[in-house]
A and B are shown apart, each in its own frame.
Chain A
Amino acid sequence: MKADFYEFFCPVKVISGKQALSNLPHEMDQLNVKRALIVTDKGVAGAGLISYVQDAFQGSSCEIGHIFDETPPDSSNMVVNQVAELFRQKNCDCFVAVGGGSCIDTAKGANIVVTEQTDDLMKFRGAERLKKAMKPLLVVPTTAGTGSEVTLVAVISNVQAGVKMAFTSDRLYPNVAILDPKMTMTMPPKITAATGMDALTHAIEAYYCLQKNPISDSLAITAIKLAMGNLVQCVENGKDESARLAMANSSLIAGMAFSNSMVGVVHALAHATGGVCHVPHGVANAILLPFGMENNLAKKAAEIGELAPYLCGREIQGDDRAKAVAAIQAVRDLNKKLNQLGGLPNRLRDAGVTEDKLEAIAKVAVNDGALIYNPEEVTFEEALDILRRAF
């Protein structure tokens, strides 16, 4: 592909493999920090995953300053301020996020508060506003979907103002991402399926949205190959370490791709569906992905068609449109399979959305920043039409 103009950046050191977590203290040492504030949630702690992190510190000169395990599913400014305060009180010098997107975003948000010496994150909303060097952030994902361990984004709710604050900055990239299969082994099949589809959605939208570039393209294809080859195995057999590691890699690589190419209408609608009806992000993405691809068929048949061999597992004959249609069908088939194996909802109505909420979702979606990067223009009426078809 040709690219007129693009930027690409990803400064995250990646350590991936069995027992990779054992490297955590060494990586802290390399960053010249000694005392970590662990940011996690009750689910991760309850599954015993924090004990793996504690074990990794044995025999090292680094230590855990405090473990904060009260991160809620949607991070807020209040939680972020609380974590920042703990960071100062406990004399920590780095953040270690252990969990999914919310834990990672909470650590990123608290890092802004600590670095900028503020308790008002509102001042830093938007793009490229953070100039100061931040405290080191090391991330150990326990889901395979968000890719937040390699992205420049953080989304945090402002409880008082009733808004979601989005931050994007090169400063928000974590320093280190550690992918250890034992950290994702306890994920139940339904969450495995939903988070895996989140990763696949990142990769597919990254491949055809407007900020795509040659580097994000190659990453997106690799992420798709890994997801198509391993997601079903992970749902069928959660103890398959090699499939779990492959999915963790798919998620991370898709994260690198979409952090530099951005996403489109699928994410705009999924964010809004999550905001209005509290549908988990991965579930909403999975349901909306084939409809979002169809929305862009007229303009991006060639790009979507290029994904057909990776999504269908074989070469598809015909023109760009025929290939693109086959690629979209392959996503539908995968959704159906994940529904049978893991109970992943295939329609919005099965995910708890009621028809009377569709207009409210469409209204929120047209104000989502991801729509800028969608190749096709999406009006309120068109967003509503996609939602009705996915309902």
Chain B
Amino acid sequence: MSPESNNNKSAGMRPGGVAAAGPSAAISYPKAKEPMGLNRLFSLSYPVKSGIARVALLALAVGFEYLSRNCDKLKKEISTWEEGRVFALSVLSKGPSVVLRKENGAIRYIGGNLKDSEIVFYFKNIDSALMLFAGLIGAHTASAQHRTIVHGDIGIAMEVLRAMNIAQSYLYPGIVLKKTFKRAPKLSFSEQILKLKLMLALLPGIVAAYKK
């Protein structure tokens, strides 16, 4: 046997170790790298990802409720909304949802049934939702990348989106806001205190909302 017959060429292999296309060629790929950091989220099983998304959605809902009573910026933003406006966030096609309604001037979480929602922000899949909740992308990037779609009136959706941005500015750390917002909001001292209070109220709020 010549030395050549024992090398990659005779086995239909290219010098780099990747098999050439052919009926008998076996293709060997290098093993995919384990995802690092936050990207590990995407390799979790669907039920786990769905659970994380549900908790994140509830955190947003609880934050919305709390801030709509205590944050002047959000109160001003929703002051022009009609009473009874219902909007929702949901993950397609059978993922978690949260539905919120304006009641007595504030926002209230009313469960997960989308039936009466005027506006629904849909994530096209669970990974897109996780990208947003993990602070990897902002709401505008999610729209620009077609990761989210809106059902309903676009003008009303823009109002809701502005309100959601205010809520998010209290839910995420500054470093994430810097990365995900077009213009990162700057919170005053009193707003930082409000953020702290919200953080303390968040866990019991999520637990209570989870039971609804």
Q: Is B155 a contact partner of A163 (Cβ separation < 8 A)?
A: yes
In the complex, whether A371 has a CB less than 8 A from a CB of chain B is yes
In the complex, whether B140 has a CB less than 8 A from a CB of chain A is yes
Contact of A377 among B144, B157, B182 (CB under 8 A): B182
- Chain A residues with CB under 8 A of B152: 125-126
Of residues 222 to 247 in A, which have CB atoms within 8 Å of B's CB atoms?
Answer: none
Q: How far is the CA of A377 from the CA of B155 in the complex (A)?
A: 17
Q: Mark A21-62, 1 if CB is under 8 A from B, else 0.
A: 000000000000000000000000000000000000000000
In the complex, whether B44 has a CB less than 8 A from a CB of chain A is no
- Chain B residues with CB under 8 A of A63: none
In the complex, whether A366 has a CB less than 8 A from a CB of chain B is yes
Nearest A residue to B148 via CB reads A127
In the complex, whether B79 has a CB less than 8 A from a CB of chain A is no
Contact of B151 among A129, A376, A377 (CB under 8 A): A129
In the complex, whether A319 has a CB less than 8 A from a CB of chain B is no
From A126, A163, A166, residue with most partner B Cβ within 10 Å = A126
- Chain A residues with CB under 8 A of B144: 210-211, 262, 372-373
Q: Is B150 a contact partner of A126 (Cβ separation < 8 A)?
A: yes
User: Known interface pairs A127-B151, A163-B153, A377-B183. Does A6 touch B145 (Cβ–Cβ under 8 Å)?
Assistant: yes
Q: Count chain A residues whose beta carbon lies closer than 8 angstroms to a beta carbon of B.
A: 26
Of residues 82 to 133 in A, which have CB atoms within 8 Å of B's CB atoms?
Answer: 125-129
Secondary structure call for the A interface:
loop
Nearest B residue to A4 via CB reads B145
| CB of A320, distance to nearest CB on chain B (Å) | 19
In the complex, whether A368 has a CB less than 8 A from a CB of chain B is yes
Of residues 77 to 136 in B, which have CB atoms within 8 Å of A's CB atoms?
Answer: none
The count of A-to-B residue pairs whose CB atoms sit within 8 angstroms is 64
Q: How far is the CA of A346 from the CA of B156 in the complex (A)?
A: 32
Contact of A127 among B141, B150, B181 (CB under 8 A): B150
| CB of B125, distance to nearest CB on chain A (Å) | 13
Contact of B155 among A211, A368, A373, A376 (CB under 8 A): A368
- Chain B residues with CB under 8 A of A371: 158
In the complex, whether A356 has a CB less than 8 A from a CB of chain B is no
Q: Is A368 a contact partner of B153 (Cβ separation < 8 A)?
A: no
Nearest A residue to B120 via CB reads A126
Contact of A372 among B156, B161, B183 (CB under 8 A): B161
| CB of B19, distance to nearest CB on chain A (Å) | 30
- Chain B residues with CB under 8 A of A163: 153, 155
Q: Is B141 a contact partner of A210 (Cβ separation < 8 A)?
A: yes
Q: Is B151 a contact partner of A372 (Cβ separation < 8 A)?
A: no
Q: Is B146 a contact partner of A125 (Cβ separation < 8 A)?
A: no
| CB of A315, distance to nearest CB on chain B (Å) | 31
Q: Is B154 a contact partner of A369 (Cβ separation < 8 A)?
A: yes
Q: Is B140 a contact partner of A368 (Cβ separation < 8 A)?
A: no
In the complex, whether B8 has a CB less than 8 A from a CB of chain A is no
Of all A-B residue pairs in the complex, the 9 with the closest CB atoms, nearest first, are A210-B144, A369-B154, A127-B149, A377-B183, A367-B155, A377-B182, A126-B151, A367-B158, A5-B145
Extra pairs beyond A125-B153, A368-B154 (4, CB < 8 Å): A125-B152, A367-B154, A367-B159, A369-B155
